Structure 1
Amino acid sequence: MQPHPAGLPRNALKHRLASGDAPALSLTVRMVRSIEIAGLAKAAGFDALYVDMEHSSLSLESTMQICLASTAIGVTPLVRVANVSQIASVLDGGAEGVIVPHIDSAQAASEAVRAARFAPLGERSIPGALMPQFNYRPVPSSRMAQGLNDSTLVIVMIESDAALAEVDAIAAVPGVDMLFVGTNDLCASMGIVGQLEHPRVRDAYDRCLAACKANGKYLGVGGLNSKPEIAAELAGRGARFISMGTDIAFLLSGAATKINTQREEIARLETRTPKTEISGQKMTKAYWINTYREISDDAAVAEYGKLAGPAIVAGGGRFLARGLPGEVYEAGLRQRTILIEFDSLAQAIATHDGPGYQAALKALGSGAVRDIRIIEAAA
């Protein structure tokens, strides 16, 4: 939040929301407790970050240090509070906006506004001169209240069936800037956990978009980091703020991608130059033979394939052949067959029983009847 020449704060995110430019993209901070996360967010290209005090153990002190560091480098800092009682503290400490969860009624939205806004819009207490938004310069109370009322973002979350039933009334509350749909909690409230593409979720977004447009409010969306196409579609329809995911998820995803890439490269080289000895001990290879006797759900098989291939490669497997037999004899059947080589029987069994391949089996469900055999090569 950089001061205007007149000394009033200017919220860069609020300006972007109103500009009609591309939607703002935000990072959620749940794990990193030091100011370096602000610089990482800036380097990655995020417009904003929000420290999640609802779903983390971050202290108020750590949260405020991150907010101040973010402001200094042009990344707008927001804070998702655990409850309304935290709102004044995080705003006094340097947050440029608050995200308030569990807003199921217009009354709850009004309580959030009262805590975040100074009179006449709310009941926030005048904190005195120690305001980071004004670089700690003494400012007349009336001027400070007006400047912060104009620049502070009040974002309320829509994450339940009860909230959807009241969404028009919530959007109409003066002082609310944005409705932020928490997709995962909304799905849980509807009894469709994880079904981000369910028609009821689509309808919920439609209702929230309509409420925002009718009341001059912005729409934000979260919980769609695994479905960027849905977030992009909503952005095309008017969503202005997209929560991209947590620091924890980005760290895990980046590490997993790097590890899988390295394992695939090792497997590729081993395929070209098979390793038959380790520490002077000969290893007996093993072969995983998978035959599809019947396929009843092509979509489930496709989803299985997305997970199974990387899991097998990560476990040291090398795909030698796959497809229909070129010819069959005696009691042979013309069925899709896959042949995979491992360096040892133990490695093949461990891969099959490991979490990666088991997740693939869960995705397959009853979509196919298969004959899987793992045999050891002749010594």
Structure 2
Amino acid sequence: MPIPVTRTFRESLAAADRPLAGMWVCSGSPLVAEICAGGGADWLLVDMEHAPNGLASVLAQLQAVAAYPVDAVVRVPGHDPVVVKQVLDLGARTVLVPMVDTPEQARAAVAAAHYPPHGRRGVGSALSRSAYWNRIGDYLATAADRVGVLVQIETAGAVARAAEIAAVDGVDGVLVGPSDLAASMGLLGQQDHPEVVAAVRTALAAVAATGTPAGVNAFDPALAEQYAAAGASFVLVAADVTALARAAEAVGTRFR
């Protein structure tokens, strides 16, 4: 039986000649995830932190988007290494760990994603979709090449340590989160505030200077373009639920 060939987001970033545009997948629906997968985005972020997603719904969404030429990244809800292990066993090729404030936390995130001696991921390949139930005969030996780790910096303190975090061996990319960054700066809900924008640009530059890809969340097209010009390698530019909400409102406004 042929084994599907997929690659990590790390490999897609390395091959890209432009910033990669991504879309949040937050509805928890495999159908909506598949619709988004066919929409032309370079990558999707299936969210477990701020969305009604558990292991079963993440699995269904990974299965739904697998046939499409789009990278699927899963944001785990926190730093629990058990959840990282479970999400990888489901077949996620790249995980995003939120709220990483220090190099030590970044190292822990990397360790959670890799087998010993490089990490502490539990071994269950015979039982997991990641190894196609041992149909990938060399999965354990090649797992480090099959898994990617992104970390998210979302506070002013993390911005100050952005270069140190990005330089951690095994961190394949750093995503800046302006929403929580704004909150940490006393500017809750003001992601476009000049001080927040300046902090994001500082983080992007610090990360890029280490050679690690830097990304950012920016639903405002003008900000997204500004961050791309400032060196962002990947940018989240939309979300399934907000796109649906705005489209539904447009229908209601026009025909009500």
* Superposition TM-score, scaled by structure 2 size: 0.89
Q: Is the 8 A contact 1:38 1:75 kept in 2?
A: no
Q: Which residue of 2 aligns with 1:113?
A: 110
Q: Which residue of 2 aligns with 1:95?
A: 92
Q: Which residue of 1 aligns with 2:18?
A: 22
Deviations 1:246-297 (A, max 9, x none): 222111111112233335xxxxxxxxxxxxxxxxxxxxxxxxxxxxxxxxxx
Q: Determine the C-alpha separation between the residues in 2 that align with 1:204 and 1:20.
A: 26
Q: 1:37 offset after TM fit, Å?
A: 2.2
Q: What RMSD, in angstroms, separates the aligned Cα atoms of the two structures? A: 2.1
Q: Determine the C-alpha separation between the residues in 2 that align with 1:98 and 1:202.
A: 26
The secondary structure found in structure 2 opposite 1:51 is strand
Q: 1:70 offset after TM fit, Å?
A: 1.5
Relative CO higher for 1 or 2, CA cutoff 8 Å, sep ≥ 6? 2
Structure with greater strand percent: 1
1:182 paired to 2:158 = no
Of residues 235, 249, 260, the one that matches 2:242 is 249
Q: 1:3 offset after TM fit, Å?
A: 4.7
Q: Which residue of 1 aligns with 2:145?
A: 150
Written as runs of structure 1 = structure 2, the 5 A alignment for 1:293-372 is none
Q: Is the 8 A contact 2:151 2:174 kept in 1?
A: yes
Q: Is the 8 A contact 1:129 1:139 kept in 2?
A: no
User: Residues 172 and 58 (structure 1 numbering): CA distance in 2 closer, same or farther, change over 3 Å?
Assistant: same
Of residues 129, 135, 139, the one that matches 1:138 is 135
User: Residues 230 and 146 (structure 1 numbering): CA distance in 2 closer, same or farther, change over 3 Å?
Assistant: farther
Q: 1:123 offset after TM fit, Å?
A: 1.6
Q: Is the 8 A contact 1:17 1:240 kept in 2?
A: yes
Q: Determine the C-alpha separation between the residues in 2 that align with 1:147 and 1:259.
A: 52
Of residues 217, 221, 225, the one that matches 1:228 is 221
Q: Determine the C-alpha separation between the residues in 1 that align with 2:117 and 2:171.
A: 14
Deviations 1:8-35 (A, max 9, x none): x523x333211232322222222233x2
The secondary structure found in structure 1 opposite 2:126 is coil
User: Residues 221 and 122 (structure 1 numbering): CA distance in 2 closer, same or farther, change over 3 Å?
Assistant: same
Q: Determine the C-alpha separation between the residues in 2 that align with 1:95 and 1:31.
A: 18
| Residue identity in the other structure for 2:100 | I
Flag the structure with larger Rg: 1
The count of residues paired between Structure 1 and Structure 2 equals 252
Q: Is the 8 A contact 1:115 1:124 kept in 2?
A: yes
| Residue identity in the other structure for 2:52 | S
User: Residues 119 and 211 (structure 1 numbering): CA distance in 2 closer, same or farther, change over 3 Å?
Assistant: farther
| Residue identity in the other structure for 2:244 | L
1:72 paired to 2:67 = yes
**Structure 1 runs of 4+ with >3 Å offset:** 133-140
Of residues 145, 160, 169, the one that matches 2:164 is 169
Q: 1:58 offset after TM fit, Å?
A: 1.9
Q: Which residue of 2 aligns with 1:202?
A: 197
| Residue identity in the other structure for 1:73 | Y
Segment drifting more, 184-193 vs 15-24: 15-24
Q: Is the 8 A contact 2:153 2:174 kept in 1?
A: yes
Q: Is the 8 A contact 1:179 1:220 kept in 2?
A: yes
Q: 1:237 offset after TM fit, Å?
A: 2.6
Q: Which residue of 2 aligns with 1:47?
A: 42
Q: 1:162 offset after TM fit, Å?
A: 1.7
Q: Is the 8 A contact 2:88 2:130 kept in 1?
A: no
Report the identity percentage.
35
The secondary structure found in structure 2 opposite 1:221 is strand
The secondary structure found in structure 2 opposite 1:84 is coil
Q: Determine the C-alpha separation between the residues in 2 that align with 1:37 and 1:120.
A: 39
Q: Is the 8 A contact 2:125 2:133 kept in 1?
A: no
Q: Determine the C-alpha separation between the residues in 1 that align with 2:88 and 2:125.
A: 13
The secondary structure found in structure 2 opposite 1:22 is coil
Segment drifting more, 51-60 vs 96-105: 51-60
Q: 1:218 offset after TM fit, Å?
A: 0.8
User: Residues 75 and 38 (structure 1 numbering): CA distance in 2 closer, same or farther, change over 3 Å?
Assistant: farther
| Residue identity in the other structure for 2:12 | R
Q: Is the 8 A contact 2:201 2:227 kept in 1?
A: no
Q: Is the 8 A contact 1:179 1:208 kept in 2?
A: no
* Superposition TM-score, scaled by structure 1 size: 0.62
